[in-house]
């Protein structure tokens, strides 16, 4: 899987943001697809093209990694988290605000450009 270019745009609704929380306090475990959960449990990648893992450090896919940075804010039922994203094959990181929305026991991760990952479900222990 090749994630689309992550193009920053303004995130709407920040005027209604709630209190700030530490980004690491948002996610209470590991969430992912089968390959992402395998990586969370073993540290070994299956090499799959479709790979998603959300944990307290950030979001990992087959082609990119977004590390949570700074304080997160509640916006409605979702949480907006500042992150620095790195795409495979590129040296530089790009700042983004990711929106983590709880959905059916998991999360959907949304980017300001409309890219959505998920829902991804809690990994079994």
Query: 12-21, 72-81, 103-112: which has the minimum mean pLDDT?
Result: 12-21
Q: What is the pLDDT of residue 24?
A: 59
Cβ 59 vs Cβ 52: under 8 Å: yes
What global pTM score does this model have? Answer: 0.76
CA angle, residues 97, 111, 71, in degrees to nearest 5: 20
| pLDDT band of 39, cuts 50, 70, 90 | confident
pLDDT at 49: 77
Question: Coil, helix or strand for 20?
Answer: strand
Mean pLDDT of the chain: 79
Cα 99 to Cα 17, 39, 112, 115, distances in angstroms: 12, 23, 8, 11
- The dihedral built from the CA positions of residue 27, 80, 67 and 65, taken in this order, carries a sign that is positive
Find out whether 47 and 77 touch, Cβ atoms under 8 Å.
no
Q: What is the pLDDT of residue 84?
A: 94
Per-residue tokens: 27: 């996610």
Q: Is residue 67's pLDDT more than 90?
A: yes
pLDDT digits (tens, 9 = 90+) for 81-114: 999 999 888 889 999 999 999 988 899 999 999 9
* Residue 23: pLDDT band with limits 50, 70, 90: low
């Amino acid at each position: 899987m090749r994630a689309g270019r992550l193009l920053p745009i303004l995130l709407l609704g920040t005027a209604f943001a709630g209190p700030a929380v530490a980004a690491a306090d948002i996610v209470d475990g590991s969430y992912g697809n089968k390959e992402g959960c395998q990586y969370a449990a073993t540290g070994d990648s299956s090499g799959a093209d479709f790979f998603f893992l959300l944990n307290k450090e950030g979001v990992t896919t087959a082609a990119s990694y977004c590390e949570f940075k700074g304080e997160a804010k509640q916006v409605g039922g979702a949480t907006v988290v500042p992150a620095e994203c790195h795409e495979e094959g590129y040296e530089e990181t790009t700042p983004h605000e990711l929106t983590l929305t709880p959905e059916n026991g998991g999360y959907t991760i949304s980017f300001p450009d409309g890219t959505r990952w998920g829902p991804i479900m809690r990994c079994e222990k």
